């Protein structure tokens, strides 16, 4: 029997994503973003995001159906982000998803956004290795996970104690007057800079941190160190070497991510690594992980940048996995949850 066709809906932050997946084959991948509307505020404004989802939902759905050459009646199940994320934004996506599921009389899965970021890799690189270590790096999350299988065995082994790594990129970009979202801006600016120009701190990597925070992260001190360095320079009336600051900050952030991730691979004796989330689009991170993986004998999988940032295909990929594993669907009265732990793969 053919695998079921799953329509996935993502609306947890500032992207309205609709993807269609059958098995591990991507049939449609459409994203509308409200990023430009948030730019002048230097961060995502929840009310603006919710309204933008409302406006983009139907046009994005129509584009996805057109791309796949499918009629809505041919969809076998709906998957939607149930959390974590901005509550208003989640409510818009889940309301649309429930309306679709009800009118088409199809099952609905309310899935974990973070686990979806991990699962999307199957669309490009085939079934995920089991077990594996997964590093999720995004604007809202920095998590190291041990994944037995994405359907029902995901465990957080480390997380950020303060800012997410993407958030640090966004805040440092603001300090340097680079446009929002900060990650791509820093990545671009860093191309012309020297990553060793300024020695920014690598938090929680000292021997004393190995006891209680071996796999945890902290990025707020790094952001503050950049702010202090910039203030100091400005006080002296000197120009800011933006490219060097961007490159040195980026290297510090990437180094910490790599140290912890490969330490986790070693500690758990796991030789497969998957990296996902918006920051996985970072060119320094991608280069560094390839290099370290080769040294450590770890095989690493990173989705293409367009699947790393928020999208509906990742939600459909997880929905597809759940449906193929025979997991029960949710009832239509589920409530989205703005903070959902990764251990809850489905609401």
- The interface partner of residue 279, options being ligand KG4, Zn ion, none and the CB cut-off 5 to 8 Å by kind, is ligand KG4
Q: What's the CA gap between 116 and 99, in Å, rounded?
A: 22
- Total residues in contact with ligand KG4, by rule CB under 6 A: 19
Residues near Zn ion, by CB under 5 A: 138, 310
Which residues, 181 to 200, sit near ligand KG4 by CB under 6 A? 181-184, 187
Q: Does residue 19 belong to the site contacting ligand KG4 (CB under 6 A)?
A: no
CB count within 10 Å of CB 156 equals 16
Contacts 24+ apart (CB under 8 A), 265-269: 265/133, 265/296, 265/298, 266/296, 267/214, 267/215, 268/131, 268/133, 268/146, 268/157
218 interacts with, out of ligand KG4, Zn ion, none, CB within 5 to 8 A per kind: none
Tell me the two tokens of residue 75: 């969809």
Residue from 56, 60, 81, 138 touching ligand KG4 (CB under 6 A): that is 138
Residue 71, C-beta contacts closer than 8 angstroms, at least 6 positions apart: 65
- Binding segment (CB under 6 A) for ligand KG4, from list 176-184, 193-201, 265-273, 338-346: 176-184
User: At 179, is the secondary structure helix, strand, or coil?
Assistant: coil
Task: Look at residue 187 and give the partner it binds from Zn ion, ligand KG4, none, a contact being a CB closer than 5 to 8 Å depending on partner kind.
Answer: ligand KG4
Query: Which positions from 107 through 126 interact with ligand KG4, judged by CB under 6 A?
Result: none
Q: Which residue of 19, 88, 96, 140 would you call a contact of ligand KG4, by CB under 6 A?
A: 140
The rounded distance, in Å, linking the Cα atoms of 7 and 28 is 9
Distance CA 134, CA 179 (A): 29
Task: Note whether 83 binds ligand KG4 by CB under 6 A.
Answer: no
Contact residues toward ligand KG4 (CB under 6 A) are 13, 138-140, 166, 169-170, 181-184, 187, 277-279, 281-282, 309-310
């Amino acid at each position: 029997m053919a695998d079921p066709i799953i329509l996935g809906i993502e609306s947890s932050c500032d992207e309205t994503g609709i993807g269609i997946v059958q098995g591990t084959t991507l049939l449609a991948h459409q994203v509308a973003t409200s990023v430009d509307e948030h730019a002048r505020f230097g961060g995502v404004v929840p009310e603006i995001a919710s309204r933008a989802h409302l406006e983009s939902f139907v046009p994005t759905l129509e584009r996805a159906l057109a791309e796949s050459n499918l009629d809505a009646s041919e969809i076998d199940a709906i998957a939607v982000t149930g959390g974590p994320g901005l509550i208003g934004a989640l409510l818009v996506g889940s309301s649309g998803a429930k309306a679709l599921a009800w009118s088409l009389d199809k099952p609905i899965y309310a899935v974990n956004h973070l686990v979806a970021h991990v699962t999307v890799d199957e669309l490009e690189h085939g079934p995920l290795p089991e077990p594996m270590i997964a590093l999720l790096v995004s604007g809202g999350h920095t998590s190291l996970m041990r994944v037995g299988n994405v359907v029902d065995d995901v465990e957080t082994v480390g997380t950020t104690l303060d800012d997410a790594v993407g958030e640090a990129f966004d805040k440092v970009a603001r300090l340097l007057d680079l446009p929002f979202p900060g990650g791509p801006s820093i990545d671009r600016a860093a191309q012309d800079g020297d990553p060793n120009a300024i020695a920014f701190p690598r938090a929680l990597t000292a021997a004393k941190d190995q006891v209680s925070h071996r796999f945890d992260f902290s990025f707020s001190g790094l952001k503050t160190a950049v702010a202090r360095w910039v203030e100091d320079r400005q006080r002296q009336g000197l120009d800011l070497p933006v490219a060097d600051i961007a490159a040195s900050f980026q290297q510090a952030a990437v180094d910490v991510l790599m140290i912890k991730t490969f330490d986790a691979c070693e500690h758990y004796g796991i030789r497969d690594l998957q990296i996902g989330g918006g920051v996985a689009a970072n060119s320094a991170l991608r280069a560094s992980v390839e290099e370290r993986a080769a040294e450590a004998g770890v095989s690493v999988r990173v989705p293409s940048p367009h699947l790393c940032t928020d999208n509906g295909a990742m939600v459909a990929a997880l929905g597809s996995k759940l449906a193929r594993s025979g997991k029960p669907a949710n009832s239509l009265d589920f409530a989205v949850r703005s903070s959902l732990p990764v251990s809850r793969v489905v609401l």
